[in-house]
């Protein structure tokens, strides 16, 4: 049996000090308000909490990039003739806003090439990259884009899907994703997202799909995402 340990005055002093710390924190919070309390939590507890980050799967930093968007099938292109251009514009803007790439070919440059080059639609991804003299091509093949469950429906319920890959112009090889031939990116509108106009729903779906595609290529904090997203 271990000998009984008797509390000394020094032990009592340490106990009182430990009890005073949370009381001091609460007192400072009461005196300084919510901002002071948040600052105290950041300085005391924050360093022990891991960052809520989503790390880029592939980096475009220092590389010139062509965002090349195609639509699959004549029906999708006919239903949404500007989808390729608008989706490319949104992806480019998100990458630029987050300084996630080097020079980005503007979407209107691709539109001009489509008009000027009769064989553009038959070019390979690498040929398009060499035409614009870029390091990488972010190729997006839109395979689905719907605003309603059926043409007859009067209720908006959007969904979109794209097949995404990154190809090196120099090596003519896919550099992302590594363990698959492409990454399938899908978005659906959230319940409660019921705009009055089709154009509004189209923008919601295009923005959501573009944002989801672009976020594979830069690191961000998940806390930056909207608390009530319009798509998932």
State residue 152's pLDDT score.
63
Q: Is residue 33 situated within a structural domain?
A: yes
Proportion of the chain in helix, strand, coil states, percent, rounded to 5? 45, 20, 35
Answer yes or no: do 80 and 141 share one domain: yes
- Distances, alpha carbon 27 to alpha carbons 19, 37, 40, 44, in Å: 13, 10, 11, 15
Residue bearing the bigger pLDDT, 196 or 223: 223
The CATH code of the domain that includes 220 is 3.40.50.10610
Q: Is residue 166 situated within a structural domain?
A: yes
Residues 6+ apart with CB under 8 A from 160: 142, 144, 145, 146, 186, 187, 188, 205, 206, 208, 209
Q: Is residue 1 situated within a structural domain?
A: no
Answer yes or no: do 119 and 36 share one domain: no
Report the candidate in 127, 145, 138, 146 with the shortest Cα–Cα distance to residue 164.
138
- The yes-or-no verdict on residue 228 having pLDDT over 80 is no
Q: Is residue 86 situated within a structural domain?
A: yes
Answer yes or no: do 31 and 108 share one domain: no
The range of the structural domain enclosing residue 179 comes to 65-224
State the total domains in the chain.
2
Answer yes or no: do 45 and 133 share one domain: no
Answer yes or no: do 29 and 119 share one domain: no
The region, left, alpha or beta by phi > 0 then psi within -120 to 50, assigned to residue 224 is alpha
- The yes-or-no verdict on residue 51 having pLDDT over 80 is no
Answer yes or no: do 43 and 78 share one domain: no
Answer yes or no: do 39 and 78 share one domain: no
For the record, the structure tokens of 12 come out as: 């009592």
Q: Is residue 156 situated within a structural domain?
A: yes
Answer yes or no: do 190 and 217 share one domain: yes
Residues 6+ apart with CB under 8 A from 193: 156, 158, 201, 204, 230, 231
57-100: pLDDT as tens digits: 999 999 999 999 999 999 999 999 999 999 999 999 999 999 99
**109-112 LR contacts (CB < 8 Å, sep 24+):** 110/66, 110/67, 110/68, 110/85, 111/85
Q: Is residue 2 situated within a structural domain?
A: no
- The yes-or-no verdict on residue 150 having pLDDT over 70 is no
Q: Is residue 54 situated within a structural domain?
A: no
Answer yes or no: do 141 and 33 share one domain: no
Average pLDDT value for the chain: 82
Answer yes or no: do 82 and 44 share one domain: no
Confidence of residue 191 (pLDDT cuts 50, 70, 90): confident
Consecutive H or E run containing 129: helix 125-131
Residue bearing the bigger pLDDT, 27 or 88: 88
Report the candidate in 62, 65, 58, 60 with the shortest Cα–Cα distance to residue 169.
65
């Amino acid at each position: 049996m271990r000998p009984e340990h008797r509390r000394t005055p020094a032990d009592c002093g340490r106990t009182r000090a430990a009890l005073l710390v949370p009381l001091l924190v609460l007192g400072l919070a009461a005196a300084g308000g919510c901002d002071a309390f948040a600052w105290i939590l950041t300085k005391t507890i924050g360093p022990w909490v891991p960052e809520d980050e989503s790390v880029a799967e592939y980096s475009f930093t220092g590389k010139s990039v062509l965002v090349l968007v195609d639509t699959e099938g004549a029906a999708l292109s006919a239903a949404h003739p500007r989808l390729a251009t608008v989706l490319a514009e949104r992806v480019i803007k998100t990458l630029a806003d987050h300084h996630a790439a080097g020079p980005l070919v503007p979407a209107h440059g691709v539109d001009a090439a489509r008009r000027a080059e009769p064989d553009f639609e038959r070019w390979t991804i690498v040929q398009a990259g060499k035409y614009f003299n870029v390091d990488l091509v972010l190729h997006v093949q839109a395979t689905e884009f719907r605003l309603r469950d059926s043409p007859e429906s009067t209720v908006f319920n959007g969904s979109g899907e794209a097949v995404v890959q990154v190809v090196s112009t120099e090596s003519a090889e896919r550099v992302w994703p590594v363990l698959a031939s492409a990454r399938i990116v899908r978005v659906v509108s959230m319940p409660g997202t019921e705009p009055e106009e089709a154009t509004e729903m189209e923008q919601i779906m295009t923005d959501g799909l573009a944002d989801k595609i672009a976020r594979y290529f830069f690191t961000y904090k998940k806390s930056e995402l909207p608390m009530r997203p319009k798509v998932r």
